Amino acid sequence: MELDLSGYDIKISDDMNTWEEVNLLYNAALKQIQTKIEILNDEFQEVHRYNPIEHVKYRVKGPESIVKKLKRNGYESTIINMVKYVNDIAGIRIICSFTSDIYQIADMLRKQSDIKVLSTKDYIETPKQSGYKSYHMLVSVPIYLSDSVVETKVEIQIRTIAMDFWASLEHKMNYKFESDAPEEIKKELFECAVMVEQLDDRMLIINDKIQRSKKEEAIWKID
Ligand code: GTP
Ligand code: MG
């Protein structure tokens, strides 16, 4: 992906990487983790006959929103500051069916020896005030270049389909009203967040029942 930063007032000194080099690293990190996720999903399918992952989205943050975020946090727009302070330049969103899948996927990723978990935020255990729920992991993966190895950060968000549905509508609201969303809509969304939680819980219970009856059926067949 080629990006022209000439319009964005980003200062690049001689000893720093260029945006093209940085961008290459983040894309490489996304590819690495993409492969890992695919392998885990294939293995899970093979062993448990079940796909924990519904779908996965990948994105590299655009220069405009990187600069905006740096400004918001009071940093100058330099490549060094980008790499140091913007943790979600490379972002992955893993969408699962059930809440239990989320923790299983997080654990499987955590166990990989080349993935370093820099921080986690469990907004399922402790949802945000808005009602937002999701499991966040900030990780780094080593990227092997011709003459060096660079640890590159990736933000991974793991959530259920229902949590994702909620988050995208809430995001739309925030985008539309900026920080000035009507209380009424916020309240309604919060109520929906409670419903999302109830739905996720019930779907998990139903799935367990289905799995259990499948097993019993298998036992009867053996007998
Ligand atoms: P950012 O500066 O937004 O990156 O927040 P942060 O550094 O405190 O990280 P956090 O883990 O709280 O949030 C990172 C990302 O999670 C955001 O960029 C959103 O994609 C998502 N997110 C966090 N809170 C909310 C929320 O209330 N609503 C929605 N829709 N998404 C959220
Ligand atoms: Mg963010």
Summarize pLDDT for 82-120 with one digit per residue, the tens: 999 999 999 999 999 999 999 999 999 999 999 999 999
Number of the ligand 1 atom closest to the C-alpha atom of 72: 2
Mutate which of 89, 125, 134 for ligand 1? The one with the most ligand atoms within 8 Å of its CB, which is 134
Q: What is each CA distance from 154 to 13, 29, 60, 147, 157, in whole angstroms? A: 25, 7, 10, 22, 10
Neighbours of 138 (CB within 10 A): 16
Beta strand 90-96 with 149-160 is parallel
Closest atom of ligand 1 to 69 CA is 2
- Catalytic-role residue among 2, 38, 43, 155: 155
pLDDT tens-digit readout, 119-172:
999 999 999 999 999 999 999 999 998 888 999 999 999 999 999 999 999 999
| Joined tokens for residue 47 | 């062993």
Positive or negative CA dihedral for 42, 44, 50, 51? negative
Sign of CA dihedral 142, 36, 67, 120: negative
CA-based nearest residue to 109, from 125, 124, 96: 96
> Which pLDDT band, with edges at 50, 70 and 90, does 7 fall under?
low
SS (H, E, C) 75-144: CCCEHHHHHHHCCCCEEEEEEECCHHHHHHHHHHHHCCCCCEEEEEEECCCCCCCCCCCCEEEEEEEEEE
Give pLDDT, residue 202: 97
220 alpha carbon – ligand 2 mean position (Å): 51
Is-catalytic flag, 21? Answer: no
Distance in Å, CA 88 to ligand 1 centroid: 10
Give the ligand 1 atom nearest the CA of 136: 11
> Residue 209 belongs to what H/E stretch?
helix 183-222
Please determine, for residue 13, whether its predicted confidence score (pLDDT) is greater than 70.
no
Mean pLDDT, rounded, of the chain: 90
Q: Please give the distance, rounded to the nearest whole angstrom, from the Cα atom of residue 88 to the centre of ligand 2.
A: 6
Q: How far apart are CA 125 and CA 88, in angstroms?
A: 22
> How far apart are the C-alpha atoms of 104 and 123, rounded to whole Å?
16
Q: Per-residue pLDDT averaged across 57-81, rounded? A: 95
Residues with CB under 6 A from ligand 1: 88, 121, 128, 130, 132, 136, 167, 170-171
